[in-house]
Amino acid sequence: MYKVMAFLARKPGISREEFRAYYEGQHAPLVGRLAPKMSAYRRNFLNFDEPFKRDDDQIGFDVVTEMEFEDRAACERWFNAFRDPAVFEQVAEDEKKFLDPTRVMVCAVEVEQSQ
């Protein structure tokens, strides 16, 4: 398995609820239609309820997105397809509606798992 994590923040003026609704209702389905299928595509929305209550800005992002691929080659194929100008333009335009581009971090990770 090869995993990519994206730490994403909502653009100013959008509530956490609006951000989540847009991501789940519009953006995730768009990515699913335009790019090859991933092994897994998960969005982990931060929960600021007790006992983890804190000011939103202390963390700096609103969702951790996991993109899993069979292997690195599958990930590279996905990102190459994603870079197609027709695909990239649609996704980039959609991201402007809900993401803060100055607060996007993407990285590949190696997974270690315990019980």
Task: Please tell me the class of the 2-109 domain.
Answer: alpha beta
Q: Which residue has the higher pLDDT, 77 or 60?
A: 77
The answer, yes or no, to whether residue 50 has pLDDT greater than 80, is: no
Q: How confident is the model at residue 115 (pLDDT cuts 50, 70, 90)?
A: confident
> Which of 23-27, 52-56, 61-65, 77-81 comes out lowest in average pLDDT?
52-56
Q: How confident is the model at residue 48 (pLDDT cuts 50, 70, 90)?
A: confident
Average pLDDT over residues 39-49: 91
The full set of domain ranges for the chain reads 2-109
Cα separation values, 75 from 4, 20, 22, Å: 8, 25, 25
What is the Cα 66 distance to its own chain's centre?
Answer: 7
Q: How confident is the model at residue 77 (pLDDT cuts 50, 70, 90)?
A: very high
Q: Which of 109, 3, 102, 107 is nearest to 60 (CA)?
A: 102
* pLDDT score at 111: 87
Cβ contacts of residue 107 below 8 Å, gap of 6+? 4, 5
* pLDDT score at 49: 75
